[in-house]
Amino acid sequence: MTDANVQIKETVDGNDVVLFMKGTSEMPQCGFSSKVAGVLNYMGVQYKDVNVLADEGIRSGIKEFSDWPTIPQLYVKGEFVGGCDIITEMTLSGELDTLLEQNGVSFDKDAANKIREHNS
């Protein structure tokens, strides 16, 4: 295992929710990362953001780790959930709510409902 893989695994295992993204939760540096961080922020999900632009080893390593070619990547309780399109679909269908609830991750259900109302 490379140092990047060890670091990724420790981050994923050590945090309930992790978003590997371009930029940070406060300052996303791509539209897809901004969209996922925006959903999580709006829903009040506490998560660890990892800026892949700050470390090339992490940026390339996360793609190998998940066997997923794009960033952002969301992990909940150590499991890879998906990228921007998947998180968007899960948010709109209510599947993200269910996943968070099943894993004991707190979030604002009213905010999640507002997202769905706004996009219906």
Whether 84 has a binding-site annotation, put simply, is no
Buried b (16+ CB within 10 A) or exposed e, 13-41: eebbbbbbbbbbbeebeeebbbbbbebbb
How wide is the angle at C-alpha 59 spanned by C-alphas 55 and 62, nearest 5°?
125
Going by the annotation, the residues of the binding site are 30
Going by the annotation, the residues of the binding site for [2Fe-2S] cluster are 30
